[in-house]
Amino acid sequence: MKKILWLALGVALGFVVAHQVNQTAEGRRFFSDLDKRTKGFTESIVDGYRERESELRAVLGDAGEALSSTSK
């Protein structure tokens, strides 16, 4: 229980500090840059996932066709 209290306190303190930093022009610039980088990273992950998913679906489709043609 004590660890959860420390975790909650740390999260709350982090939000307070982030809010204070965001009040300055440099802080807003920092968070804006961080947001852009995070979105870019997330988009890269999603693109890679979709590309790999389409590759796997193509392979599974080819395997399914091969199995159905050999069973006839």
Does 5 reside within a domain? no
Listed in sequence order, the DSSP H helices in the chain are 2-22, 25-70
Cβ-contact 31, 40 below 8 angstroms: no
> Under a CB-based contact definition with an 8 Å cutoff, are residues 54 and 61 in contact?
no
Q: What is the pTM of this model?
A: 0.62
Number of domains in the chain: 1
pLDDT for position 1: 87
User: Is 6 among the domain residues?
Assistant: no
- Asked if the structure places residue 11 within a domain, the reply is no
In a domain, 13, yes or no: no
Burial, 17: exposed, middle or buried (Cβ in 10 Å; 0-12, 13-18, 19+)?
A: exposed
Kindly state whether residue 68 falls inside one of the protein's structural domains.
yes
- The reply to whether 17 falls in a domain is no
Profile the chain (72 residues) by mean pLDDT over runs of 10 residues: 95 96 96 97 98 93 73 60
**Are 22 and 31 in contact, with CB atoms under 8 Å apart?**
yes
18: in domain: no
Domain housing 38 = 25-72
